[in-house]
């Protein structure tokens, strides 16, 4: 019994004596494990940081490349815009130039053809001859043009005719008349076509009076003096285009021929008219009756001079 207690006591003592050593070892092991874990976490963290830095570096490189691409695209887009603007400016210049040329062509065409005929040619491609029932026709030509032009150079003759007929164009246009054509020193115009004009006879007579006044004024202020005869008749005419490649608008009929005869039987700076014109003229027109004359192809006809001094416009 004593031995057992002693043994037990001894065992207790031994156990008590050995217990602190085991605890110290466990603590040391735990500390070592913590250090290892700590080092491992640091290494993982460093690796993670390194990966993040690598990703950041790669992202920066990608951003730099993207910025270069965007810069290049912006520069290309800017160049393209400049090119578009430049092309648009060139197109605008070409358009303005084309419109200017078209206006010149249209103006030239209006000097050759009536507006309505131009419209028909543009829309349909052709224009049929048309009968006009109430038209007044005027013919005029320069007296002794052959003798007068022989004293001038050809370019001077052309200038003289152009200057006179340009003045006539403005005058007759203001009176609602349409110039048909010039034939050498002859000038042919009408009123009442292509649009009807109730006052066609008065339009022609008023324009003829003003044309004579223009010519008188020009003679006073110009080295070359010209005198003209005027003849007027009224009736029906046919108007239409002559030619296919080169358009010429002309009028035909007995009225045109009679107006030409009235001009041939007129006197310098006078307006010779037929009986039909006298009847159709407005009441403000005064006439001087002439002796009946034999007219080629018409027989004897009554004719009158428009009294320019007593007629008021």
237-264 tens-digit pLDDT: 999 888 777 778 899 999 999 999 999 9
Token readout for 81 is: 């815009």
Residue 60's pLDDT band (cuts 50, 70, 90):
confident
State the CATH number of the domain containing residue 187.
3.30.70.1230
284 vs 14, higher pLDDT: 284
Q: Please check whether residue 260 is in contact with residue 231, taking contact to mean a CB–CB distance below 8 angstroms.
A: yes
Does 82 have pLDDT greater than 80? yes
Say if residue 127 is exposed, middle or buried (CB neighbours under 10 Å; 0-12, 13-18, 19+): buried
> Is 17 part of a structural domain of the chain?
no
> Is 270 part of a structural domain of the chain?
yes
Does 72 have pLDDT greater than 80? yes
> Is 7 part of a structural domain of the chain?
no
> Is 97 part of a structural domain of the chain?
no
Q: What is the pTM assigned to this prediction? A: 0.68
How confident is the model over 191-217, as a mean pLDDT? 94
> Is 124 part of a structural domain of the chain?
no
> Is 26 part of a structural domain of the chain?
no
Query: What is the distance between the alpha carbons of residues 112 and 118, in angstroms, rounded to a whole number?
Result: 9
| Domain range enclosing 216 | 130-306
Find all residues with CB under 8 Å of 99, minimum gap 6, and list them.
Answer: none
Q: How many domains does the chain have?
A: 1
Give residue 1's pLDDT. 46
DSSP letter for each residue of 149-196 = HHTS-HHHHHHHHHHHHHHHHHHHHHTT-EEEEEETTEEEEEES-SS-
C-alpha 262: how far from chain center: 44
> Is 185 part of a structural domain of the chain?
yes
128 vs 182, higher pLDDT: 182
pLDDT digits (tens, 9 = 90+) for 151-187: 899 999 999 999 999 999 999 999 999 999 999 999 9
Location of structure tokens 């080092």: 39
Residue 23's pLDDT band (cuts 50, 70, 90):
low
> Is 101 part of a structural domain of the chain?
no
Find all residues with CB under 8 Å of 189, minimum gap 6, and list them.
Answer: 137, 138, 168, 172, 177, 178, 179, 180, 204, 207
């Amino acid at each position: 019994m004593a031995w057992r207690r002693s043994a037990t006591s001894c065992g207790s003592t031994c156990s008590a004596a050995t217990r602190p050593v085991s605890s110290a070892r466990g603590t040391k092991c735990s500390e070592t494990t913590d250090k290892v874990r700590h080092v491992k976490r640091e290494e993982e963290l460093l690796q993670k940081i390194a990966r993040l830095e690598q990703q950041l570096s790669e992202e920066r490189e990608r951003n730099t490349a993207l910025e270069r691409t965007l810069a290049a695209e912006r520069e290309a887009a800017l160049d393209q815009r400049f090119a578009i603007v430049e092309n648009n400016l060139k197109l605008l210049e070409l358009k303005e130039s084309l419109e200017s040329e078209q206006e010149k062509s249209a103006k030239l065409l209006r000097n050759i053809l009536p507006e309505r005929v131009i419209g028909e040619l543009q829309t349909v491609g052709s224009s049929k001859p048309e009968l006009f029932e109430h038209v007044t026709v005027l013919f005029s030509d320069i007296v002794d043009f052959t003798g007068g032009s022989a004293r001038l150079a050809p370019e001077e003759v052309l200038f003289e005719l152009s200057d006179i007929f340009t003045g006539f164009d403005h005058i007759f246009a203001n009176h609602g008349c349409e110039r048909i054509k010039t034939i050498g020193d002859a000038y042919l115009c009408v009123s009442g076509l292509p649009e009807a004009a109730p006052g066609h006879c008065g339009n022609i007579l008023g324009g003829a009076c003003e044309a004579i006044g223009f010519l008188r004024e020009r003679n006073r202020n110009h080295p070359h003096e010209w005198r003209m005869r005027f003849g007027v008749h009224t009736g029906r005419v046919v108007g239409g285009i002559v030619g296919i490649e080169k358009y010429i608008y002309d009028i035909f009929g007995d009225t045109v021929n009679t107006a030409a005869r009235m001009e041939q039987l007129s006197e310098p700076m006078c307006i010779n008219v037929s009986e039909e014109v006298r009847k159709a003229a407005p009441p403000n027109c005064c006439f001087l009756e002439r002796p009946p004359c034999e007219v080629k192809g018409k027989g004897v006809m009554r004719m009158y001079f428009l009294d320019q001094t007593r007629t008021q416009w």
